[in-house]
Amino acid sequence: MKRFFEVTFRPFFVLTGVGTSLAGLYALWPRWAVETLGKLTFRQDYTVFVQHWGVMVGLMGLFMIVAAFNVKWRKPILVCSLVEKSFMVFLVAMNLRQTYAQGLKALAAMDAAVVLYTILYFGVLGLRE
């Protein structure tokens, strides 16, 4: 199983890091991102929060990409990513029946894959890596 993570870690975290970093679009073009990607009605009143979220999650994606290549960054980034993504999956799951959660299903699915992969990674390799 250790070999599986040695082979898949970089491609998995580069791919999911790129997907996560796309949240930066919310910081740059909040109206477009909320309406197109989130499939939500844009509310000008929330622009600052949307942009802040976009920067935070966008940076998490960039850090995930760096962690794919920099072993020293791996543990702290994976722990932060695990917490952030677990909470996002939880929020979407708890609100699945709400119309505002519909545009977030694909993001939650990717985040769930990252959470599962990270749990397995730490389960196999431990927190020492």
- Higher pLDDT pick, 85 / 100: 85
| pLDDT for residue 12 is more than 80 | yes
Is residue 50 a contact partner of residue 33, using CB atoms and an 8 Å limit?
Answer: yes
Amino acid identity of residue 127, one-letter, is L
Whole-angstrom distance, CA of residue 110 vs CA of residue 20:
9
pLDDT per position as a tens digit, 15-63: 999 999 999 999 999 999 999 998 899 999 999 999 999 999 999 999 9
pLDDT at residue number 55: 97
Residue 102 has a CB neighbour count (10 Å cut-off) of 15
How much is the pTM?
A: 0.89
Cα–Cα distance for residue pair 58/84, rounded to 1 Å? 12
- Residue 125: per-residue pLDDT: 85
Indicate the range of 54-63, 75-84, 86-95, 118-127 predicted with least confidence: 118-127
C-alpha 112/C-alpha 89 separation (Å) is: 6
pLDDT tens string 88-118: 999 999 999 998 888 889 899 999 999 999 9
pLDDT at 129 over 70: no
Tokens, residue 45? 């009143």
Exposure of 12 in the CB half-sphere (CA atoms within 13 A) = 16
